[in-house]
Structure 1
């Protein structure tokens, strides 16, 4: 059931039914991961990318199997490691304090959210558990990390739209924010200290990510049946320069991906991943983008998207060259 928007935003924002076919350009994948370990289930969910600046070909992808744990993949799509971690749903990472910190939303206990922490060894591709932090009552769902005012924070999005900003060092809940209905996807633009959150049937919102910042959500884009078709799912930042680039969203309802220009957040085009050597994508949950050299196949950047239907195999993740996305959209 669709929830009401706050009165200040409701006027003129009624959700329209999705068009039979919404406009989008076509892109084909340049690679894919091996399937996650859980077969015949909705299991793959969210990816994160560690770009190896010293050796881009050795960059790694960390991805959730939300029935059992975390996978590490190389750019060739092959499995490098697996950590049994329970029902981890979303994943993100940051290099901070001399470590590659990986965090995931842990919904193993549906009534009590947890933040699961790991460190990634970039040389071996191994994940090492680093404990959990309580994230309060409720079902852990979305998760993103941000470095704000030189400090690392985790943002845990509960299924009911509650967002808790947590200090992973000690588990302290720094502050709480709220959206009205089911929310999941989130991303932090470290450059501008902005948190973006996807309220699935309503649209994308932004918050001040600073611990002392305003907790009032500001609308970015609504689910309108054209630009975004419910559910709006994964979010990613394709950072270019001091504050430029694009916010990217998974428009799950029509199997497309929508771009918004940064910093003004105007629509910048949309695309679908169509059948090629590695197949099309559909019903995408999580996405991630990193720009810069990510090896010979991805010289201008890499986008990783979850594929909800990789039949006859289990779900997996498709790898896109950002150069292909830019060419398709004329960016």
Structure 2
């Protein structure tokens, strides 16, 4: 066989192997309208009074006119609920029933504003700022590069009801990479108190994605080039790492994470970014369960709820960022987590 034929046969063989190993795509129910710049991370706000009116918030990165866009469950942008003119918003999360006074509370949204070295806090769904322009983070750092926030995730202590937020950053040290800030509301308004610094960093790549399981009191974060790390979310439980797992299942970057919790079972769903797939782990055992293909490209962030959101998403909703300036919505049953 001559050289040309050998090359052709080899090329066909590689192509067939690639096709044979490609996971079947689970087609999205909804693809959102596109944002102007660069999507990154979503968060689902559940409207408990009217689940069909729930909102998906998604960040759109730009140093001058970035934004956090609000989408309805049809994937249409809700302009009056969207926040623009933000300097590079990275990650976003939502929380519920934050006490403003002894008698009033509100749902809240937090997102990082990287180029201003701060996090922002807004009420939901009226979208009013609660932060007087922003809360500065990593203020004790002398290296400016270590002040730039990326990941954010709320933790609500089930015993006290207090809400805190974990914040990761673009660059950081090998110890104390994450900071945890308590949210406090008093006569002077809402402000933050630094609770602690925690988290080991391997030194590979960076740490962005964070997910908190309020049910078990565990915070997970992605040491992108190494493993998924888990710690106690409650500072009173200590700062010792619980486990480091899963790195061998990722092609390169370990990215966005979301926790799907059912009555007696829970799953950690993590973006296998360069593979364009997601890895699913058992929350109780940390064991790898399966890999799924949702059709997204280079997913940064994702979010999930197991709560029924009306007729369109009666089994819950999984939202994932797609590297084409949009987000994909899947009815959660399509991921077949319980099978």
TM-score bin, normalised by smaller chain: 0.7 to 0.9
Alpha-carbon RMSD? 1.9
Q: 1:254 to 1:54 in 2, by over 3 A?
A: same
1:250 to 271, 275, 297: 271
Give, in angstroms, the shift of residue 220 of structure 1. 4.0
1:88 aligns with 89
1:303 aligns with 318
Equivalent pair of 1:290/1:302 in contact (CA under 8 Å): yes
Partners of 2:41 and 2:70 in 1: CA distance: 12
Equivalent pair of 2:225/2:254 in contact (CA under 8 Å): yes
1:271 to 284, 292, 302: 292
Equivalent pair of 1:23/1:270 in contact (CA under 8 Å): no
2:110 aligns with 103
Give, in angstroms, the shift of residue 216 of structure 1. 2.5
1:157 aligns with 168
Partners of 2:251 and 2:304 in 1: CA distance: 21
Q: Which has the higher strand share?
A: 1
1:206 to 230, 236, 240: 230
In the TM superposition, 1:24-35 aligns within 5 A as 24-35=23-34
Which one has a bigger Cα radius of gyration?
2
Provide the aligned length of Structure 1 versus Structure 2: 286
In the TM superposition, 1:224-243 aligns within 5 A as 224=248, 227-241=249-263
Q: Which has the higher helix share?
A: 2
Give, in angstroms, the shift of residue 262 of structure 1. 2.4
1:134 to 122, 133, 136: 136
Q: 1:58 to 1:102 in 2, by over 3 A?
A: same
Higher normalized contact order (CA 8 Å, seq sep 6+, divided by chain length): 1
Partners of 1:165 and 1:264 in 2: CA distance: 26
Partners of 2:25 and 2:60 in 1: CA distance: 28
Partners of 2:242 and 2:285 in 1: CA distance: 13
Equivalent pair of 2:246/2:288 in contact (CA under 8 Å): no
In the TM superposition, 1:32-111 aligns within 5 A as 32-38=31-37, 43-67=38-62, 68-80=66-78, 81-84=81-84, 85-97=86-98, 98-109=105-116
The secondary structure found in structure 2 opposite 1:129 is coil
Question: TM (normalized to structure 2)?
Answer: 0.80
Partners of 1:223 and 1:127 in 2: CA distance: 38
Equivalent pair of 2:231/2:243 in contact (CA under 8 Å): no
State the Cα deviation string for residues 227-269 of structure 1 (Å, max 9, x = none): 2222110011101126x21111001020011111122222121
State the Cα deviation string for residues 52-107 of structure 1 (Å, max 9, x = none): 23322111101111211211110011111321232110000011233111001121
Which segments of 5 or more consecutive residues in structure 2 lack a partner in the other structure?
1-16, 99-104, 142-146, 185-190
Give, in angstroms, the shift of residue 203 of structure 1. 1.4
State the Cα deviation string for residues 16-57 of structure 1 (Å, max 9, x = none): xxx96866453110002111122xxxx100000011233221
